[in-house]
Amino acid sequence: MADSSANPVLPDFETHPSRYKHWQLDVEGPVAKLTMKVDPHGGLRDDYELKLNSYDLGVDIELADAIQRVRFEHPEVRAIVFQSGIDRVFCAGANIPMLSSSAHAFKVNFCKFTNETRLYLEDASAKSGIKSLAACEGTCAGGGYELALACDRILLVDDGSSAVSLPEVPLLAVLPGTGGLTRIVDKRKVRRDLADVFCTTSEGVRGKRAVDWGLVDAIAPRSKFEDAVASEAQALAEQGEAKSGPGITLDPLEPTITDEAITYRHVELHLDGAARVARLVVKAPEGDIPETAEAIQAAGADQWSLRAYRELDDAILRLRMHHFDVGLVLVETRGDAAKVLASDAALANHQDHWLAREITLHMARVLRRLDLSSRSFFAIVDEGSCFAGSLFELSLAADRSYMLEDDDENVAVQLGALNRGLLPMSNGLSRLETRYYGDAATLEKVLGHEGAIVTTDADDLGLITLAADDIDWEDDVRIAIEERASLSPDALTGMEASLRFPGPETVESKIFARLSAWQNWIFQRPNAVGPSGALTKYGQPDRPTFDWTRC
């Protein structure tokens, strides 16, 4: 099912610091250091070299893993320093030969993953009190500067040659792929006209001008740079949040993988290549539910909410990058709804405990990953389903939901402690607030509902798309699946991205709503990827040829 011709090496999204090829994680009390020293010959494919700390998906998978491990395994950390292990280069950004030789779908999903990783770093600062510093001792270009932009502070060496730059427009005829344009003007408040000059100047901006324009926070000469980094890191650590440990160990997920299915402990992904449809099944917890902060800590990585959502995250990423041809995902749940609600309640009741809060934040990030995935999602609510609490978020995240009418009231959905704002979308609203945007009366009625909500009531409240009795159920669902699978995937991707996020905008929603659409379009335009396009001609002696028509 995977498009192996376009991406011959299918990435594994799980790794461990002992297996890192490109990063080194060192923890020294409240400060963690992440040193980037990319192995030029350690790419996911052998048709490019990762020169000058340029990166591919494999480099960013390690980065995402490192940030995740700091959050769960090292609660003592209050600041992260990003630095280079290569002299006079911080990071040259995404590897251009890798991009130019990759399939379109891979390029877009690569950019999406790298931006989600940077958003996770910002989430760590905003929600977990883990501040970050980019120590740019050398050239910081493209995606390298976008990593720096995701940090709380940027320190640039002042040596007359080191610069920050976003050279994608003048050099490659594409856009910065991981939110750089939005972060410059929205996060760092760089003036629009100065941002325009900066983004069309391939050599970038250095020294005092970079500080004056707001592109970096401070500069230091090379002779004093190490001391400046230490001082900045200490100041950030003092701003960070002190937590009482100990940390927990994130053990490997180790799914069973066949051509037809990917099976985890709590999650299953079944693949139907002929129909271009997948079934995503998430199972409720079994056994005793840890209800106290001490019990949650003791359960560690086996706590259901953490384990199940780590599995769900891995399944979503595999679906994105290994199975480009799957267009529709049927979302199902199985198990005891009461246990889901009990697990949710335990987390909600202990948000003052670092691990309970971190697990909840992780769940929110995984659900946002699902929101931002370019697949159609239909929730199937039938007998045996447990769309309750945090698992009801899967139904709310779906583009449509189909619910079976049942005379014995064995089919129901139910709200829980985590449906009231602890799992926000990219627009800053809960999924219920987004669903009832502009309809405060119905939202209040829904939030005030106690207990299970059977099909008739769920339909009346607008919590589902369609209710069907057992006579029509199979035909209604089958027809909906067949109709969806027959539509243009390009049109569906644009439609879904436009419909999923009503309401206010945040930096995160702007990045994905604007960047995903524009980058998706630009990555297919001849000016970038045609035979004479800038991305195709990069590094070659002849210059690109542009079609000068503005669309």
Average pLDDT, the chain: 94
Contacts of 488 (CB under 8 A, 6+ apart): none
- The whole-number pLDDT of residue 517 equals 75
Q: Model confidence over 149-180: pLDDT tens digits?
A: 999 999 999 999 999 999 999 999 999 988 99
User: What value does the mean pLDDT take over residues 310-320?
Assistant: 97
Question: In whole angstroms, what is the distance from residue 141 CA to residue 91 CA?
Answer: 6
Q: Is the pLDDT of residue 97 over 90?
A: yes
For the entire predicted model, the pTM comes to 0.95
pLDDT at position 520 is: 77
Condensed to tens digits (0 to 9), the pLDDT of residues 67-92 reads: 999 999 999 999 999 999 999 999 99
Rounded to the nearest 10 degrees, the angle between the axes of helix 104-128 and helix 354-371 is 150
pLDDT at residue 8 above 70?
A: no
pLDDT at 4 over 50: no
pLDDT score of 115 more than 60: yes
Cα 378 to Cα 21: distance, rounded to the nearest angstrom = 39
- Domains 17-239 and 256-496 fall in the same CATH topology: yes
Q: Is the pLDDT of residue 3 over 70?
A: no
Assigned CATH class of 256-496: alpha beta
CA contacts within 13 A on the Cβ side of 195: 15
Does residue 312 contact residue 325 with C-beta atoms inside 8 Å? no
Cβ contact 310:371 at 8 Å? no
pLDDT above 70 (res 7)? no
Return the pLDDT at 550. Answer: 83
* Model confidence pLDDT, tens digit, residues 498-534: 899 999 999 999 888 777 777 778 888 899 999 999 9
Better-scored residue on pLDDT, 334 or 104: 334
For residues 315 and 365, the answer to whether their CB atoms sit within 8 Å is: no
Q: Which of 29, 32, 63, 75 is nearest to 357 (CA)?
A: 75
pLDDT digits (tens, 9 = 90+) for 362-372: 999 999 999 99
- Choose among 414, 407, 417, 408: nearest CA to 451: 414
Residue 364 CA neighbour count, 13 Å, CB half? 27
User: Which tokens is 86 given?
Assistant: 């290569």
Which CATH code of 3.50.50.60, 3.90.226.10, 3.30.420.40, 1.10.580.10 fits the domain covering 17-239? 3.90.226.10
pLDDT at position 148 is: 98
pLDDT at residue 2 greater than cutoff 50: no
Question: Is the pLDDT reported for residue 298 higher than 90?
Answer: yes
Would you kindly state where each structural domain of the chain is located, as residue ranges? 17-239, 256-496
Q: Per-residue pLDDT averaged across 429-454, rounded?
A: 96
Residue 193: which residues within 8 A CB-CB, separation 6 or more?
none
CB 111 within 8 Å of CB 521:
no
DSSP string, 306-350: HHHHHHHHHHHHHHHHH-TT--EEEEEEES-HHHHHHHHHHHHHT
Extract the tokens encoding 429. 């609203």
